[in-house]
């Protein structure tokens, strides 16, 4: 599993470089981003976010969700997906 995670982290880093993202990204930051986007798309329902992440407790899902200022994240997404719509992460 460690080898697969390492390879995936390298692929994430290459993708970030191509997109002009200078922040260090990893599988962990990707999981947090997924949780945050799912939270936003599902109206803050941590139960649905937890189900998506495979968590039994809502409190565990809450750890992954960033409910702070999303403007920088939105701007970065706009730069990556300029002319492509991003599908909403509706769960259940």
Query: What is the per-residue pLDDT across 15-36, written as a single tens digit (0 to 9) for each?
Result: 888 888 888 888 888 888 888 8
What does the buried/exposed string (b/e) look like for 35-66 if buried means 16 or more CB atoms within 10 Å of the residue's CB? Answer: bbbbbbbbeebbebbbbbbebeeeeebeebbe
- Whole-number pLDDT of residue 91: 59
The secondary structure of 42-66 as a DSSP string is TTT-HHHHHHHHT-SSHHHHHHH--
Mean pLDDT score of the chain: 79
């Amino acid at each position: 599993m460690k080898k697969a995670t390492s390879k995936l982290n390298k692929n994430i880093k290459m993708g970030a470089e191509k997109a002009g993202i200078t922040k260090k990204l990893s599988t962990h930051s990707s999981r947090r981003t997924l949780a945050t986007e799912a939270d936003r798309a599902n109206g803050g329902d941590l139960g649905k976010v937890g189900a998506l992440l495979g968590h039994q407790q809502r409190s565990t899902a809450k750890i992954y969700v960033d409910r702070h200022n999303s403007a920088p994240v939105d701007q970065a997404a706009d730069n990556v997906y300029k002319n492509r719509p991003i599908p909403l992460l509706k769960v259940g």
